Structure 1
């Protein structure tokens, strides 16, 4: 069954970003796309940045890391720790850039993914917190999460067309 999904949506207040998208794959497949090296196949675009070198120890207390490779070829490392894992329903992890992000600096934030089964796929909700006092960073990350979830939708859609 093909899921007619809505455009990915995101919003922010002064402390937290919320984003949501409907993905036409079961939660197990969406979960894998978020926490395995599959991230490198869909997270990013040629004109923005790509994720490369994904590494993760997928357990509570396990660490993850990735390189954000910008369109102009800069490598910007990011990393964090898994705080909660309830496969395939929930992931909570910390995130920290190991470089001076223009609006966030090196502040550690927390990202929670909630995967809910729906008819024809999964509703993925992202709650990204830790922006207190950084309203501009929260707004920028809201735009970023809408873009990221759209990339995930496009990746899944392209795979569905190829398999059909």
Structure 2
């Protein structure tokens, strides 16, 4: 097994509370990136799961494969609203990623020292023993997964700052 860690950092003109809601509230997180609502039980040991949308299921059917209702799952390991969330994470949409071990995602929200009203969001994804998941979340061309974390976080930033996502 090899250790693989991916770190993504963006600055968002918003409060920590608004960024936290965009990550953890399905009313928000279903509005950006892949539009799949993610549900959190925000207590240590709480559950995490993302659900497939009707559009995702239709795309899968049109391309000859079945998509499970639950497309991501995991467990909340640490929760310190609105600053830090650590969770396990597994992608269930693809058999190769579903067969890999759970990975760990850490979200950290900090006030940007250089600019009032701006926060730094750092996402660290520890991907030990999960090469298919690492390729998928990196958004590599051969993963077939789109833009991965870079896409997700760019769209999150756009939505939080403008009220609209990339497709609106």
TM (norm. structure 1) is: 0.74
Tell me, what secondary structure is at the counterpart of 2:14?
coil
Aligned equivalents of 2:8, 2:134: Cα separation in 1: 12
Give, in whole Å, the separation in 2 of the partners of 1:80 and 1:133. 15
RMSD of the TM alignment (CA)?
2.4
Matches within 5 A, 1:35-46: 35-37=24-26, 38-44=28-34
Equivalent residue, structure 2, for 1:116:
110
- How many residue pairs get matched? 141
| Residues 1:19 and 2:8 aligned together | yes
Name which of structure 1's ranges 31-40 and 151-160 shifts more when overlaid on structure 2: 151-160
Structure 2 length as normaliser, TM-score?
0.72
Kindly indicate which of the two structures has a greater share of residues assigned to helix.
2
Determine if contact 1:99/1:106 at 8 Å carries over to the other structure.
Answer: no
Gaps of 5+ in 2: 61-65, 140-147
Q: Deviations over 1:95-138 (max 9, x none)?
A: 1233544456342111000111112321100110123362x642
1:126-141 equivalences under 5 Å are: 126-132=123-129, 134=131, 137-141=133-137
Per-residue CA deviations over 1:49-97 (Å, capped at 9, x if unaligned) read x303x33211111112111443715544211111001111110001123
The structure with the largest strand share of the pair is 1
